[in-house]
A and B are shown apart, each in its own frame.
Chain A
Amino acid sequence: MTKITGAKVVIETLIQENVEVIFGYPGGAVLPIYDEIFKQKKIRHILVRHEQAAVHAAEGYARSTGKVGVVLVTSGPGATNTVTGLTDAMMDSIPIVCITGQVPTHMIGNDAFQEADIVGITRPCTKHNYLVKDVTKLAGVIHSAFNICINGRPGPVLVDIPKDIQTFKTVYKGKKAYKDNRYYKPKVKPDDEKINEIVKLMTESSKPIFYVGGGVINSGTKASKELFKLIKKTSFPCTQTLMGLGAFPTSDNQFIGMLGMHGTYEANHSMHKSDLLLCVGARFDDRITGKVSGFSPKSKKVHMDIDPSSFNKSVNVDVMVQGDLYRILSAINNRIEEKKIIFSKNKIKKWWIQIDKWRSRNCLRYKNSKEIIKPQFALERLNKLTEKLNPFITTEVGQHQMWAAQFLSFNKPKHWMTSGGLGTMGYGLPAAMGVQIAHPKELVIDVAGEASILMNIQEMSTIKQYKLPVKIFILNNHYMGMVKQWQELLHGNRLSESYMESLPDFVKLAESFGASGIQVLKPNDLDEAINEMISIKGPVICDVVVDPNENCFPMIPSGSTHDQMLLGPNDKVDGEISEEGMILV
């Protein structure tokens, strides 16, 4: 067989893994691979303007398609710039393969130019990583990286390739020859007796609730279908985490809103009073549980997840089932059919009456104004005017992100891309690019804040280069809104460094990158601006100047439980926020 260079092996293995797009940035230590990219036509390379954005773009691509997102960067600063993105993908379980160049093997450890121990640096923020020191092992490692990143609980895998390895020659034998490297086989099939146990608990419960997380999205569209079937069959209420939105359609009447710190009154109270909590692919994160000791005190808890390390991590559960959620949910559905179980609506009638009472508090209400645009109103209008187009939504991080989660509809999985675990400001714009690359004809909107958007604003240049018609919808309140909200609540309204001075003129900024810019100041002009934004074929920045004094409610203050929610600015915390609560993030 003919021998090919390591760089060529990289391209060949990527082609075999059906990679269509790479997000990357060249540099000295990856030039041989870039040379091979130049020589072929099967894989498209998207040149970002900062390596962090390459990872976020790959995340957006992966989350909206279910495929692996691929990143290629150089050694040293190129590699270290990916760390935030990799950590983000790790926290939100996104399948990414990140290939980094490295100084030649004989230089490693010498503090060479653009050398960084990226395998050491990314060990805690990747699912696994490799330094390839033998060209004959390169193909096996890359195939393993793809296998590991997408199977089990997905996550990022980094492959560090020294420059000499890229030029050494070896034989590439095709994907099948490297099966030995695929011993990573997480358990996906659930235990039968656990399924029986869950079905039994479901038939006995009078106050059940489905608590659905991003695991369902990761398991694929068919998992969402099984979930839909199950929820419809049981008539149980369903709440979703920030990561789970869209797994079950949010317009459905059985959906009672997102839960957690900025979740709805009805979702959080239902969690608190429930007698059976069915957690499907969520992880009892601290944003969800509030004070753990007071979390859903009376419920039996069932936890379905592919990752056993999520069981009993922060909340003790009664039944845990390890497996792929599609398999678990379809097994439950099948068991119900086999046993011809009918779920009586009567049994949970009182429960629904109670939930509807909580719902009637209308916790997302806000006081609208004719003078100034309320951020909630802007999102309500955005939702109304774009809903039919079924847009892909990405967000940055902060108040606008929570309002987007509360006020937009998510009726299909894989249409909602937000940085949930890490909370990365600057995520939304590059993520939107990745989504748009994967879905060139669809409407992609980055709901942004004026502070977050500036964190990766350089990507306007990428958007220009590839003519990506991304719509950037900025809720501009001139503050780091969530920081301000916490300073008001916890730090005596001393707004330390949270005012955004010297903002750019976003219209001119858009125009300078060949995009269209729109600024809206009055509520009456909002619909026209949104319609114009959608109708423009190219990229648009829509700068919506909103009320700087609006805060994100409802809210569970730090260290409080689900039944201690603040519904609006006039609600006061019962007594002082505990010292324990103050130190929580």
Chain B
Amino acid sequence: MSNLINTKHILSIMVDNEPGVLARVVGLFSGRGYNIESLSVSEVDSDKFLSRVTIVTSGTKIIVDQIKAQLKKLIPVHDLIDITELDSFIGKELILIKLNVKSITKKGFEDVIHKTKTNILFDKGNEVIIQFSGSPSEIRSLLNKLKPFKIIEQTRSGLVSMALGTKYIKK
């Protein structure tokens, strides 16, 4: 990795699930001028009160190293792994899309849904809500296929990611 090229990194962070912990993480990024491309957080251990944060960020090697060092300094941070530095990993995102599908176009729409293994959660009148989970590129590809149809709104969960093999995040 060169010192000058921006690269994308997926950081997985185990934190105490306490009030303000997300503000600490996010405030560090805004205060020091780092970039957040995607963020997802939820509790993963209700006995130990731990949450796992996944942040997608980008920067030069120096910047990304600095981001990681600064995050590790936060007191509620138990462990941090840079998933992109590992050999292989899985990264998935969930998207919900609300569309307006008229009966004329219904057939083409159903083809797309079928081929992409997308779930239909709601279908009444012209309004359809679908759910899809996949890698960011699979989501991009789905959105491309849905271009002929009228998307009313969409929401995405942000990336969640896990390394393959023996590298686990510590609690």
A residues within 8 Å of B by Cβ? Answer: 119-120, 123-124, 127-128, 131, 148, 184, 307-309, 311-313, 316
- Interchain nearest-CB distance for A97 vs B (Å): 14
Choice from A128, A309, A316 contacting B70 with Cβ under 8 Å: A309
Choice from B20, B72, B73 contacting A119 with Cβ under 8 Å: B20
A128 touches B75 (CB 8 A): yes
Query: For residue A148, which residues in chain B have a CB less than 8 angstroms away from its CB?
Result: 75
Choice from B3, B19, B73, B75 contacting A307 with Cβ under 8 Å: B73
B24 interface hit (Cβ, 8 Å) = yes
B contacts with A: majority SS? helix
Mark B12-23 against chain A: 1 for CB-CB distance below 8 A, else 0: 000000011001
Query: For residue A120, which residues in chain B have a CB less than 8 angstroms away from its CB?
Result: 20, 23
Q: Which of B61-69, B99-107, B110-118 contacts A (4 or more CB under 8 A)?
A: B61-69
Q: Can you offer 30 A-B residue contacts whose CB atoms are under 8 A?
A: A119-B20, A120-B20, A123-B20, A123-B23, A123-B24, A123-B27, A124-B27, A124-B28, A124-B31, A127-B75, A128-B74, A128-B75, A131-B19, A131-B20, A184-B75, A307-B73, A308-B72, A309-B66, A309-B69, A309-B70, A309-B72, A309-B73, A311-B69, A312-B62, A312-B65, A312-B66, A313-B62, A313-B66, A316-B3, A316-B62
- Interchain nearest-CB distance for B41 vs A (Å): 17
How far is B24's CA from A148's CA once the two chains are assembled, in angstroms?
A: 16
Query: For residue A184, which residues in chain B have a CB less than 8 angstroms away from its CB?
Result: 75
How many residues on chain B are close to A (CB under 8 Å)?
Answer: 17
How far is B19's CA from A184's CA once the two chains are assembled, in angstroms?
A: 19
**Which 4 residue pairs across A and B have the least CB separation, nearest first?**
A309-B69, A128-B75, A124-B31, A308-B69
Query: For residue B75, which residues in chain A have a CB less than 8 angstroms away from its CB?
Result: 127-128, 148, 184
Mark B68-92 against chain A: 1 for CB-CB distance below 8 A, else 0: 0110111100000000000000000
- Closest chain A residue, CB of each to CB of B3: A316
Query: For residue B72, which residues in chain A have a CB less than 8 angstroms away from its CB?
Result: 308-309
Query: For residue A316, which residues in chain B have a CB less than 8 angstroms away from its CB?
Result: 3, 62
- Closest chain A residue, CB of each to CB of B70: A309
- Interchain nearest-CB distance for A177 vs B (Å): 20
How far is B75's CA from A308's CA once the two chains are assembled, in angstroms?
A: 14
Query: For residue B27, which residues in chain A have a CB less than 8 angstroms away from its CB?
Result: 123-124
How far is B66's CA from A119's CA once the two chains are assembled, in angstroms?
A: 24
- Closest chain B residue, CB of each to CB of A313: B66
Query: For residue B24, which residues in chain A have a CB less than 8 angstroms away from its CB?
Result: 123
Query: For residue A119, which residues in chain B have a CB less than 8 angstroms away from its CB?
Result: 20
How far is B28's CA from A128's CA once the two chains are assembled, in angstroms?
A: 12
Max chain A Cβ within 10 angstroms of own Cβ: one of B28, B70, B75? B75
How far is B75's CA from A131's CA once the two chains are assembled, in angstroms?
A: 14
Give me 6 other A-B pairs in contact (C-beta within 8 A), A124-B27, A313-B62, A313-B66 excluded: A120-B20, A120-B23, A123-B23, A131-B20, A309-B69, A312-B66
- Closest chain B residue, CB of each to CB of A144: B75
- Interchain nearest-CB distance for B64 vs A (Å): 11
- Interchain nearest-CB distance for B78 vs A (Å): 9
Contacts of B1-53 to chain A: CB distance below 8 A: 3, 19-20, 23-24, 27-28, 31
How far is B70's CA from A379's CA once the two chains are assembled, in angstroms?
A: 40
Query: For residue B20, which residues in chain A have a CB less than 8 angstroms away from its CB?
Result: 119-120, 123, 131
How far is B75's CA from A316's CA once the two chains are assembled, in angstroms?
A: 26
- Closest chain A residue, CB of each to CB of B31: A124
How far is B20's CA from A131's CA once the two chains are assembled, in angstroms?
A: 10
- Closest chain A residue, CB of each to CB of B20: A119
Query: For residue A309, which residues in chain B have a CB less than 8 angstroms away from its CB?
Result: 66, 69-70, 72-73
Query: For residue A128, which residues in chain B have a CB less than 8 angstroms away from its CB?
Result: 74-75
- Interchain nearest-CB distance for B10 vs A (Å): 20
- Interchain nearest-CB distance for B14 vs A (Å): 13
Query: For residue A131, which residues in chain B have a CB less than 8 angstroms away from its CB?
Result: 19-20
How far is B63's CA from A472's CA once the two chains are assembled, in angstroms?
A: 44
Query: For residue B62, which residues in chain A have a CB less than 8 angstroms away from its CB?
Result: 312-313, 316
- Interchain nearest-CB distance for A91 vs B (Å): 14
Query: For residue A312, which residues in chain B have a CB less than 8 angstroms away from its CB?
Result: 62, 65-66
- Closest chain B residue, CB of each to CB of A127: B75
Query: For residue A307, which residues in chain B have a CB less than 8 angstroms away from its CB?
Result: 73
How far is B31's CA from A227's CA once the two chains are assembled, in angstroms?
A: 35
Query: For residue B70, which residues in chain A have a CB less than 8 angstroms away from its CB?
Result: 309
- Interchain nearest-CB distance for A165 vs B (Å): 15
- Interchain nearest-CB distance for A363 vs B (Å): 33
- Closest chain A residue, CB of each to CB of B68: A309
- Interchain nearest-CB distance for B140 vs A (Å): 34
- Interchain nearest-CB distance for B16 vs A (Å): 10
How far is B21's CA from A123's CA once the two chains are assembled, in angstroms?
A: 10
How far is B31's CA from A308's CA once the two chains are assembled, in angstroms?
A: 19
Query: For residue B19, which residues in chain A have a CB less than 8 angstroms away from its CB?
Result: 131
- Interchain nearest-CB distance for A156 vs B (Å): 13
- Interchain nearest-CB distance for B61 vs A (Å): 9
- Closest chain B residue, CB of each to CB of A155: B73
How far is B60's CA from A312's CA once the two chains are assembled, in angstroms?
A: 12
Query: For residue A311, which residues in chain B have a CB less than 8 angstroms away from its CB?
Result: 69
How far is B27's CA from A330's CA once the two chains are assembled, in angstroms?
A: 38
Query: For residue A123, which residues in chain B have a CB less than 8 angstroms away from its CB?
Result: 20, 23-24, 27
- Interchain nearest-CB distance for B65 vs A (Å): 6
- Interchain nearest-CB distance for A429 vs B (Å): 30
- Closest chain A residue, CB of each to CB of B74: A128
- Interchain nearest-CB distance for A133 vs B (Å): 8
- Interchain nearest-CB distance for B104 vs A (Å): 52
How far is B70's CA from A51's CA once the two chains are assembled, in angstroms?
A: 29
Query: For residue B66, which residues in chain A have a CB less than 8 angstroms away from its CB?
Result: 309, 312-313
How far is B18's CA from A131's CA once the two chains are assembled, in angstroms?
A: 11
How far is B74's CA from A312's CA once the two chains are assembled, in angstroms?
A: 19
How far is B16's CA from A546's CA once the two chains are assembled, in angstroms?
A: 56
Query: For residue B23, which residues in chain A have a CB less than 8 angstroms away from its CB?
Result: 120, 123
Max chain B Cβ within 10 angstroms of own Cβ: one of A120, A124, A316? A124
- Interchain nearest-CB distance for B62 vs A (Å): 6
- Interchain nearest-CB distance for A168 vs B (Å): 19
- Interchain nearest-CB distance for A320 vs B (Å): 11
How far is B8's CA from A424's CA once the two chains are assembled, in angstroms?
A: 38
Query: For residue A313, which residues in chain B have a CB less than 8 angstroms away from its CB?
Result: 62, 66
Query: For residue B28, which residues in chain A have a CB less than 8 angstroms away from its CB?
Result: 124
How far is B27's CA from A555's CA once the two chains are assembled, in angstroms?
A: 36
How far is B31's CA from A312's CA once the two chains are assembled, in angstroms?
A: 19
